[in-house]
Amino acid sequence: MSHLIHLIELYGLAFVFVNVLALQAGLPFPAYPTLIVTGALAAGGHYPVAALVATAVAASVVSDTGWYIAGRRFGGRVLRTLCRVSLSPDTCVRQTESIFERYGAPSLAVAKFVPGFASVATAMAGAVRIPAWRFLVFDAIGAALWSGVAIALGYVFSAAINDVIKVLDNMGRAGLALLALGFIAYIVIRWVQRQRFLRQLRMDRVTVEELHELMNAGQLGTVVDVRSPFAQAFTGRIPGAITIDVNDVRASLSAVAPQGEVVVYCACPNEASAAKVAKALVQHGFKRVRPLAGGIDAWIESGFAVEAVGDEPLPDATVPAQEMP
């Protein structure tokens, strides 16, 4: 903690800017301790509060704009990359789609308070072509709220924070080790939970090439898309696919053909949502059900056709697909 304070005293607002920029860029450098400490220092007259908030907002907007531009340029590829490095990748895309579908650009105002949502939300804002001015307005509001809360906590509880800092300083290396062990324990627990989840979802997959052959040969029963309507409207879906709500499989059972193989797909890493729906279908008596390896992304990247959903044409970000023979 003394090292953190020394860095803040040495580099001032520049250190705050770099720390927040690194965190919002996706690097594992927590910025809240820095903002809380600088908030406490601001209470002692070291920094103007307005300048401190403005610095944090500027750093957030700069980093978030980079994700926005990447999402606008590369679309789903950026989202997949972000979710693969997340500790909760199997709900990352689905959660972000659901929030965006319900609230749109205003969801960016609270994005930084939702674990696993912030970076994905800024990239998705670009991918779904939210106007740049709307993105910047709501992203700046969100950055001000997020940083403002930490700075306000430091300002209001400056005396208590100074006491905590003194205790940690007195503990020396033991205090630093305690903080590090807490962070490591959190990472290990999340990793173990994820491995257990993946073991539960292991089942036979069908490749996009196999699915394409089955469709051409007329040997397929039903193709099931478990993504949200928002995602389907953005990227399109496999021709002839039906939609099943991952949270209410029973309500859609009548739409699934009782004969033939059923292939289920989504857009999440490891096909987690698709695997869960596939298992639910098996439990309801369907004999041959398999998730699609790689989901809709693998289908599009292989050059196979997708069909538009709704009245709107697919966005330019969708990878052009070849017609299915």
Per-residue pLDDT at 321: 34
Q: Which of 27-36, 199-208, 310-319 has the highest mean pLDDT?
A: 27-36
Give me the number of domains the chain comprises.
2
Largest CA distance in the chain: 75
Looking at the domain assignment, is residue 325 inside a domain?
no
**Segment holding 242, helix H or strand E:** strand 242-243
Q: What is the mean pLDDT of the chain?
A: 78
Confidence bin at 227 (pLDDT 50/70/90): confident
Q: What is the CATH number of the domain that holds 216?
A: 3.40.250.10
| Span 60-70, average pLDDT | 93
Looking at the domain assignment, is residue 74 inside a domain?
yes
pTM: 0.64
CB within 8 A of 273, min separation 6: which ones? 90, 94, 226, 227, 246, 266
CB within 8 A of 83, min separation 6: which ones? 89, 92, 93, 120, 268, 269
Q: Is there a single domain that holds both residue 23 and residue 160?
A: yes
Distances (CA, A) of 187 to 87, 125, 163: 8, 28, 28
Looking at the domain assignment, is residue 311 inside a domain?
no
Q: Is there a single domain that holds both residue 194 and residue 287?
A: no
130 Ramachandran zone, left/alpha/beta (phi>0; psi -120 to 50): beta
Per-residue pLDDT at 176: 59
Whole-number percent of the chain with pLDDT over 90:
21
Q: Is there a single domain that holds both residue 191 and residue 238?
A: no
> Residue 191 pLDDT more than 80?
no
Summarised one tens digit per residue, pLDDT across range 110-163 is 888 876 677 778 888 888 888 999 999 999 999 999 999 999 988 888 777 666
Tell me the C-alpha distance between 168 and 200, whole Å.
42
Q: Is there a single domain that holds both residue 212 and residue 158?
A: no
Q: Is there a single domain that holds both residue 237 and residue 165?
A: no
Q: Is there a single domain that holds both residue 161 and residue 226?
A: no
| Span 286-303, average pLDDT | 86
Q: Is there a single domain that holds both residue 195 and residue 279?
A: no
Q: Is there a single domain that holds both residue 176 and residue 227?
A: no
DSSP 264: E
Q: Is there a single domain that holds both residue 125 and residue 249?
A: no
How is 50-112 classified by DSSP, letter by letter?
HHHHHHHHHHHHHHHHHHHHHHHHHTHHHHHHHHHTSSSHHHHHHHHHHHHHHH-GGGGGTGG
Domain span including residue 219? 208-301
Last residue of a domain, one of 168, 199, 230: 199
Looking at the domain assignment, is residue 193 inside a domain?
yes
Tell me the C-alpha distance between 259 and 222, whole Å.
9
Looking at the domain assignment, is residue 322 inside a domain?
no
Q: Is there a single domain that holds both residue 171 and residue 290?
A: no
Strand partners of residue 242:
224
**Token pair 């403005």 in the structure block, residue:** 54
